[in-house]
Amino acid sequence: MHKKDKEAVDLDCLDITPWEIVALGASNDIKDYCESIFSQGNGYMGVRGYSPIGRKNNNAERTTFISGFFEYIRPGITDMVNQPDFAASKIFINGTDINEMSVADYKQVLNMKDGTVLWSYTVLDKENRRTQIRIIRFLSMGNKHTAAIRFEVFPENHNSSIILETGIDGNVINLPIADNQLSDNTQFVNMWGKINSSSIGKKGSITAETIYSNRITTMEYYINIPKEYKAVIEADTKDNYTGSIIKFSGMQGNRYVIDKLISVANYRDGENIGDIAQNHLEQCIKFGFDGMLVESKKVWQRIWEHSDVKVESSQELQGAIRYNIFQLIQSDPSDDPYASIGARGLMHGRYKGCYFWDTEIFMLPLFLNTNPEAARNLLLYRYNTLEDAMESAKRFSLKGARYSWMSSDTGFEQCETWDTGCCEIHITADIVYAIGRYIEQTGDINFLKDYASEIYIQTARYWKERFTYDEQKDCYNLIHVKGPDEYCGVTINNFYTVKMALHNLTLALDSIKLMEKEFPEKWESLREKTQLVKDETKKWQDIIDKAVTYYDKDRELWIQDPIFEGLEPIDIGAYKDDNIPLYHKLSYDRLQRYQVLKQPDVLMYMALFPEEMPRNQMLAAWNYYEPKTLHDSTLSFGIHALIAARLGLRKEAWRYFNKSIFLDLKNLMSNTAKEGIHTAALGASWQALIFGFAGVWINSQGISCEPNLPEDIQSMQFKICYKSAIYELIIKYGKKPEINFLYSI
Amino acid sequence: MHKKDKEAVDLDCLDITPWEIVALGASNDIKDYCESIFSQGNGYMGVRGYSPIGRKNNNAERTTFISGFFEYIRPGITDMVNQPDFAASKIFINGTDINEMSVADYKQVLNMKDGTVLWSYTVLDKENRRTQIRIIRFLSMGNKHTAAIRFEVFPENHNSSIILETGIDGNVINLPIADNQLSDNTQFVNMWGKINSSSIGKKGSITAETIYSNRITTMEYYINIPKEYKAVIEADTKDNYTGSIIKFSGMQGNRYVIDKLISVANYRDGENIGDIAQNHLEQCIKFGFDGMLVESKKVWQRIWEHSDVKVESSQELQGAIRYNIFQLIQSDPSDDPYASIGARGLMHGRYKGCYFWDTEIFMLPLFLNTNPEAARNLLLYRYNTLEDAMESAKRFSLKGARYSWMSSDTGFEQCETWDTGCCEIHITADIVYAIGRYIEQTGDINFLKDYASEIYIQTARYWKERFTYDEQKDCYNLIHVKGPDEYCGVTINNFYTVKMALHNLTLALDSIKLMEKEFPEKWESLREKTQLVKDETKKWQDIIDKAVTYYDKDRELWIQDPIFEGLEPIDIGAYKDDNIPLYHKLSYDRLQRYQVLKQPDVLMYMALFPEEMPRNQMLAAWNYYEPKTLHDSTLSFGIHALIAARLGLRKEAWRYFNKSIFLDLKNLMSNTAKEGIHTAALGASWQALIFGFAGVWINSQGISCEPNLPEDIQSMQFKICYKSAIYELIIKYGKKPEINFLYSI
């Protein structure tokens, strides 16, 4: 078996309760896996869930990421920078590192109400001295520049010297991961050049600067320790490390509590990074650990008030639903219009931290319905990279704006494989679709005026150039494109891509009409800025009228592309007996000539346009494509659950939903340990729940709700935000749904 | 203008005479260019034409390559290793480096009769002391492990101390060049780990070992200096360098001649590399410079006896024709069945030294007609990498053998761009075509028995799997392929690829029949080895019968692929006003949606199968495709010249032929300085000359000759080899050609 095929994880270790994820046992087998599952973030920064005192040997796997902080690893290509590790700690009892002692009663708990992770266990040394250890870490939602770690040491049956070494470690490294899903990554890249560190006993500071662009991060910490411990505290500054060594005598039956408060600032925060970090640290010192936690918890409370989805179902499902929402929110830079959410959030460096269509098509709906301001900022990231998208179009010898398949702190293409980077062009239309949904649902007409219409025009311009007019047949073809089903190869007139492009053109035409009528002055300046000439838009309409897609009337079936039906059929069962992607067993190249889908394409479009596609067409597409779909992308299960629910295929919907909602919590793809949390799947699960089971759809006319609850969910209760008001939806199995207006915002 | 667009080279500096290429003037502008043009090789090794005393600062441009000597630069990817520089020398007169003196009467001469390059000039120091300098270098054709350099110093008007520092320099580095024709290369790679050097006055030795695979090269040198110079000779061993410092008094009016004799051996030569190098050096010492040159010249004489093409035309054209032949022969490892000819021969590291279809389709015919043993060895390289080709097929989840688009010392894919490496699959059929031509022309039926039939079967097997059967339409499609016209994108049923694949299948079927009948025992063992079952070949025939190509009866036109005619027309003239590839101005991606060809596709097939394609179809294809062809590959001109000549389009043929034959000598692509000599174009020029102008075609029935001489060539005279006999062809304008049997070999 291919070495990447399986991650051996004993999933029984995980206990999913309504508000907590609990791991019992400290087996090394689950260590990597738990590091992914217990990842923490506050949108500004994120850390993988490694224990502060259980440092990994591999410095590329001890990751701390800051939202939007990238650096070049070769010309034009960036990686998300692995930041100094502010957790780095060791505890010694009677001179022995507790990591070398035997461990009992190990428990690790993620509390989704307050965002804390607790590690709790007992260590025994060779003389049978028992010591209870508790460590609590959180990244503050109250002040996103701050984090805190509490160390508790409780000598059960002995008096001993206790030493805590803790600091900030700049000895971290990047492991940029190639686009190619099959290539091994062996080339570490050191991002950090100059690192200055200083420590004065209880306090330490580290400033690191990237080699290429001189981008700076400053981290500071402060140790809070009760005077009565009579601790001796020494500064401990080594190469690229700043820390404190804290020594005191531990007495049997006493609980010793030491807090480490941390502040973080980086070049994206403005000038004088050092001052910013120091100010935040002073705030930490003022509040202390408990005060900081109170503030952070308050914010989590507000978030859950809008975002929680309560279900009457198993405890496990309730916990999993919250986990999906929780992890997505942890990675969202909700107040930052210059960053987006990576395909593994802030929890893993996979895909070099880049942003994909995953954000707009899979993750955005959750924010749009629970925190429209955060949704707006995600879309503003695209507006703020519009110039780069225009330059990108130019590099492809085209006009207008072409968004990149993978982007980072700039909008320039980060994808290095030709077929994907050059041909998976639907992302441009995906972004426009998401903007359209945002405006429709929020009624934020100013966003249309100030940002969207400009994006619409430039992207429409791109599509006009990207379609090829066939004079003989008087039609438009989209040549050399790759649809969401990445196993279709590069083909022409891919259904999803063509239809999304036409929607893009339609929104552009509509917005011009609206701008002319509603905002004539702004329109005039935009027309001038974009140098739009009257005749240009005629061609857009012509493309809408004459673009080629393939529909088989007899079967009521939309055909994905003209090659698809000529591909070789394959007995999926003969190759695939689990959820592990088939590209580990069959080459990508070979898969492209089988009649199989990696993930939905026609059905994907139908998921986005439920009002446009009649039920018979949706059912025909389901019956045709679903059996041919391998779900080798984590984006697939949730969308299939959604469509199945809409079609009333409750059993299928429930089956797919479970695969999506437990994707990481049950390690269904066998890559959660190695690759981190799949953020798009989190969003797809939420959509399956709300748009599928609850049957919610929202357009400018209002909220509609046609539930399709599976038997296993007796009721659902959640809030959504529609045009500056909050509504509560209560859906009970077999009953008429309730939509209650709560209040305006 | 793009920085790569133009190389500013004053071409007036070059004088092309029937047997010599002469460069006058030593302007720095032409230095890089002359380094390419004056490249030297003997098939075992090659050096760029830099002067032994004019060392470049950039150690990656001082290149010495050994045929078949590659090393890994990252997992699976190799680069041709830049070897220690055995030329490295400096001359001081009265303590001043002559490179710092002013230069007069500069002349550089490549003599194609004996393979020598001469540098001749006069240096003047600040006190107006004039010294004539002559340096002659050759790589011996008599003993390919050896080379020699002669230094001549002639103080015209002074008595002075003269110092020659000369040695072998291991301080060289590789600059692996990315596949992407537009990317800059900035990452040097050091290939050499341990380098041992030793020197004992007149003699020195260096042994270098590559870092990754411990591949060894040993080079030795010996200084031949007349005793009467009373020179003091000191050993000069520095880091990675071994050399001698030779000091003597130079008297006015005396000519001082010092010879450096060099031997080279490497890990590919067997065990005890040091002994091998030493033995060769002893032979050098025995012969001396003059004796070595005599031996080398003898071999060149024999080569020219078979390879020369004499024309009654301009002196310049005669010289250019010889230059094309000469350079191709210099890069051919004629007696080595484990190496082939790189796309830039042994003269430049472009394309990492890799072997392409260029060898079999463009270069091989020259060898097949002038040195069948060399042709046989080129094809044996493919047999010797058959196992790798089978493993490659497996990596693509296919059976049989799949040759790689780019290969090096193994048959594994060296091309790193998806569309080319995965989709430009015609190379497998190209190799088989060349083998078929070899057997047909030589009658070497043992080659068929021992090697070819096995290749035929394994490649046919590959094609069987690579075609996709469409059950509904009962036909076979070749999906996701890229033809020779690399501007067509990845498409289906590319004409050239389909037709070549069918030829491959046909040869396989024919060879099985022949083997069964003629060599039943060998057939039995081959059948067992290949595990061929009877039914397998039925499918091959079925594909031959039902593969899809597109023919328009009305226009008598073969269509390149089903998308081509729907592409957007483009006014080529508006973009392209010279020979510089358009991909510097328009993106590759954009070019793929224009109705333009990079190089011939349908016409390419027609060039290879003149008997199969009726004249009307060839003319229709010419009229349709030629105006749409950008000739952005150097492979294009020669093939167009060939086809035009066959069609009797003399003016067009002459125009294209001139572009091909002078491609490097007139720097028509503006990249000869930067990229070296285009070996495939050399071969294409030869084919245009012999298959086009002379109208030669050879099949198992005999030699046919229907000349189409342009007015500018009054006559041609050359030899060809057919079934173990040598024939002389004499073709005179307006006269019936003569084909004279000369002798059997």
Bridge partners of A738?
A730
Measured CA to CA, the distance from residue A732 to residue A654 in angstroms comes to 16
**B62 pLDDT higher than 80:** yes
The distance of A478 to chain B (nearest Cα, Å) reads 9
pLDDT in tens, A527-577: 999 999 989 999 999 999 999 999 999 999 999 999 999 999 998 888 887
**CB pair distance less than 8 Å for B469 and A568:** yes
Label residue A176 by pLDDT band (50, 70, 90): confident
pLDDT of residue B176: 83
Task: Report the 10 Å Cβ neighbour count for A511.
Answer: 25
**B648 pLDDT higher than 50:** yes
Q: For residue B476, which of B485, B465, B489, B487 has the smallest C-alpha distance?
A: B465
Tell whether A100 is within 8 A of chain B (Cβ).
no
Q: DSSP label at B691?
A: I
Label residue A62 by pLDDT band (50, 70, 90): confident
pLDDT in tens, A100-147: 999 999 999 999 999 999 999 999 999 999 999 999 999 999 999 999
At position B516, the amino acid (one-letter code) is E
The Cα diameter of chain B in Å comes to 92
Can you give the residue ranges of every domain in chain A? 38-307, 385-583
Pick B397's closest partner by Cβ from A74, A567, A590. A590
**CB pair distance less than 8 Å for A479 and B592:** yes
- Rounded mean pLDDT, A41-62: 84
- Rounded mean pLDDT, B53-67: 80
Pick B566's closest partner by Cβ from A418, A419, A477. A477
Chain position carrying tokens 């984090």: A147
pLDDT of residue A10: 66
Measured CA to CA, the distance from residue B640 to residue B657 in angstroms comes to 8
- CB contact residues (below 8 A), chain B span 471-490, against chain A: 472-473, 477, 479-480, 489-490
pLDDT of residue A1: 28
Task: Report the 10 Å Cβ neighbour count for A431.
Answer: 27
- Residue B54's alpha-carbon distances to A315, A411, A696, B28, B393, in angstroms, are 80, 46, 77, 11, 47
Label residue A4 by pLDDT band (50, 70, 90): very low
- CB contact residues (below 8 A), chain A span 640-699, against chain B: none
Measured CA to CA, the distance from residue B357 to residue B575 in angstroms comes to 29
- Rounded mean pLDDT, B130-157: 98
**CB pair distance less than 8 Å for B565 and A419:** no
- CB contact residues (below 8 A), chain A span 385-444, against chain B: 395-398, 417-419, 422
- Rounded mean pLDDT, B556-568: 97
At position A106, the amino acid (one-letter code) is Y
Q: Is the dihedral of CA B623, B625, B627, B632 positive or negative?
A: negative
**CB pair distance less than 8 Å for A590 and B396:** yes
**A183 pLDDT higher than 70:** no
**Residue of B588, B589, B590, B591 to mutate when probing chain A, most A C-beta within 10 A:** B589
- Residue B406's alpha-carbon distances to A40, B179, B417, in angstroms, are 46, 10, 11
pLDDT of residue B31: 82
Pick A590's closest partner by Cβ from B186, B398, B489. B398
Tell whether B272 is within 8 A of chain A (Cβ).
no
A385-583 under CATH 1.50.10.10, yes or no: yes
pLDDT of residue B26: 61
Measured CA to CA, the distance from residue A336 to residue A373 in angstroms comes to 10
**A180 pLDDT higher than 80:** no
Measured CA to CA, the distance from residue B42 to residue B46 in angstroms comes to 7
* Summary mean pLDDT of chain A: 94
**What percent of chain B stands above pLDDT 90?**
87
- Rounded mean pLDDT, A611-633: 96
pLDDT of residue B3: 36
Q: What angle do CA B187, B188, B192 make, to 5 degrees?
A: 150
pLDDT of residue A5: 43
| Residues in chain A within 8 Å Cβ distance of B584 | none
Chain position carrying tokens 């930067």: B674
Bridge partners of B232?
B247
**Residue of B180, B480, B564 to mutate when probing chain A, most A C-beta within 10 A:** B480
pLDDT of residue B56: 61
pLDDT in tens, B65-112: 999 999 999 889 999 999 999 999 999 999 999 999 999 999 999 999
pLDDT of residue B419: 86
B404, B389 Cβ separation under 8 angstroms: yes
Across A207-211, A435-439, A671-675, A694-698, least confident range: A671-675
* Summary mean pLDDT of chain B: 94
pLDDT of residue B106: 92
Give me the interface pTM, i.e. the ipTM.
0.89
Label residue A32 by pLDDT band (50, 70, 90): confident
At position B578, the amino acid (one-letter code) is D
A481, A491 Cβ separation under 8 angstroms: yes
Measured CA to CA, the distance from residue A375 to residue A337 in angstroms comes to 10
- Rounded mean pLDDT, B136-165: 98
**B9 pLDDT higher than 70:** no
Fold of B38-307: Beta-galactosidase; Chain A, domain 5 (2.70.98)
| Residues in chain B within 8 Å Cβ distance of A392 | none
The distance of B531 to chain A (nearest Cα, Å) reads 23
**A733 pLDDT higher than 90:** yes
**B410 pLDDT higher than 80:** yes
- Rounded mean pLDDT, B9-14: 74
**CB pair distance less than 8 Å for B419 and A418:** yes
Q: For residue A163, which of A244, A219, A241 has the smallest C-alpha distance?
A: A244
Measured CA to CA, the distance from residue A189 to residue B311 in angstroms comes to 59
- Rounded mean pLDDT, B649-661: 97
Tell whether A589 is within 8 A of chain B (Cβ).
yes
Task: Report the 10 Å Cβ neighbour count for A154.
Answer: 17
Label residue B127 by pLDDT band (50, 70, 90): very high
- Rounded mean pLDDT, B486-497: 95
